[in-house]
DNA sequence: GTTGCCTTTGACGTGCGCGTCAGGGTTTAG
DNA sequence: CTAAACCCTGACGCGCACGTCAAAGGCAAC
């Protein structure tokens, strides 16, 4: 399949696929004799994994960090258990868990910041209700 | 006082003051014979009001919307009651309360989005704790 | 006078995840 | 065979609130 079909199958656009490839989230795909990118189902599964991680709020950098282990997220697309097992000694065994931890911390900080901002704004506007 | 002093007095930078002026948040200040901007204490109070509103998460557009009523926020800098009284008929009497309401809604939506994102990410990472 | 910081306008840079356009070549349906 | 739809690379646009640089002039102290 060509880039348009692969993008549609993964729920995104050709431009995004070229962008992921350029940033190292996807391996360079096969090319036809005329130079057009050729994708197969394995590629589509990878693309979906990338999309899902980005959709979870990870950055391009984060995902590139464990791009080489992306298949751990996509084995038969049915991982019952956690795809990123934490090391028993407490250290980050994979760059994935480290990135996720960083993202979680960043999200918590941002939620906290916005919540305080909301409260201040509500208070300045004459005492808004909580929640 | 010149722009550097005014900016310092309001806790910001000359660049920011020129930017606010360009976007219509501040009125064009007086100029010296050589063309340099000249500010007084009234201007500094206005600048502080602008900074405070921006710090509360309002956008440049929002603040410009009620730039002409900015003095309502700065009367002696000690408003005991709400500076933006709501109209009794329920409609937005001032563009200020409308902008604040929009910002509150946007903040709530963003907090909600980030919270759901956090939960999904924690869940995907193997079941993070709530809170 | 002259040294050194301050100010002026204008224009580009920042981060992020792509969207969009330009100017070509390729594939496919009729 | 032709037209339409696709693909290629490269480059700029976006939104936001300024930061930063550049070239030129102003101001106060010594």
Mean pLDDT, rounded, for A90-118: 77
Q: Is the pLDDT of residue B86 over 60?
A: no
Please identify which residue in the block is written with the tokens 């696929």.
A17
Q: Count of CB atoms within 10 A of residue B82's CB?
A: 13
With a CB cutoff of 8 Å and minimum separation 6, the contacts of A54 are A60, A63
Percent of chain A with pLDDT over 90: 40
Distance A10 CA to C24 C1' (A): 28
Give the closest-approach CA distance of A85 to chain B in angstroms. Answer: 8
pLDDT band at B25 (very low <50, low <70, confident <90, very high): very high
pLDDT band at B82 (very low <50, low <70, confident <90, very high): very low
| Straight-line distance from the first to the last Cα atom of chain B, in angstroms, rounded to the nearest whole number | 49
Chain-centroid distance of CA A52 in Å reads 5
**What secondary structure does DSSP assign to A69-126, as a single string?**
GGGGGTGGG---S-SSPPPTTSS--SHHHHHHHHHHHHHHHHHHHHHHHHHHHHHHTT
Minimum CA–C1' distance nucleotide for A2: D7
Distance A65 CA to C29 C1' (A): 44
Indicate the average pLDDT of chain B: 80
Q: Quick check: B86 and A120 CB within 8 A? A: no
Q: Which residue is nearest to nucleotide D9 (CA to C1')?
A: A18
Distance A114 CA to D21 C1' (A): 34
Q: How far apart are CA A75 and CA A84, in angstroms?
A: 13
Q: Which positions in chain A touch B78 (Cβ < 8 Å)?
A: none
Question: Residue B127: exposed, middle, or buried by beta-carbon count in 10 A (0-12, 13-18, 19+)?
Answer: exposed
Mean pLDDT, rounded, for A29-44: 96
Give me the residue spans of the domains in chain A: 1-59+66-80, 82-131
Which of B36, B54, B39 minimizes the C-alpha distance to B9? B39
Minimum CA–C1' distance nucleotide for A35: D8
Q: Quick check: A86 and B115 CB within 8 A? A: no
Number of alpha carbons in the 13 Å side-chain half-sphere of residue A98: 10
Q: Is the pLDDT of residue B58 over 50?
A: yes
Q: Which positions in chain B touch A57 (Cβ < 8 Å)?
A: 114, 117-118, 121
Question: Would you tell me which CATH number, out of the four given (1.10.1660.10, 1.10.3470.10, 3.40.50.10490, 2.60.120.10), belongs to the domain B1-59+66-80?
Answer: 1.10.1660.10
pLDDT band at B77 (very low <50, low <70, confident <90, very high): very low
Mean pLDDT, rounded, for A15-39: 96
With a CB cutoff of 8 Å and minimum separation 6, the contacts of A51 are A10, A11, A12
């Amino acid at each position: 399949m060509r880039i348009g079909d692969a993008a549609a199958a993964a729920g995104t656009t050709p431009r995004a696929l070229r962008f992921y490839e350029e940033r190292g989230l996807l391996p360079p795909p096969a090319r036809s004799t005329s130079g057009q990118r050729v994708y197969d189902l394995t590629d589509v599964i990878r693309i979906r994994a990338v999309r899902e991680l980005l959709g979870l709020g990870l950055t391009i950098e984060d995902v590139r960090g464990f791009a080489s282990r992306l298949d751990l997220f996509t084995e038969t697309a049915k991982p019952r258990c956690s795809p990123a097992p934490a090391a028993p000694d407490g250290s980050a065994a994979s760059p994935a868990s480290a990135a996720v931890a960083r993202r979680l911390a960043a999200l918590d900080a941002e939620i906290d910041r916005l919540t305080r901002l909301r409260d201040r704004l509500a208070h300045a506007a004459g005492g808004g209700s909580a929640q």
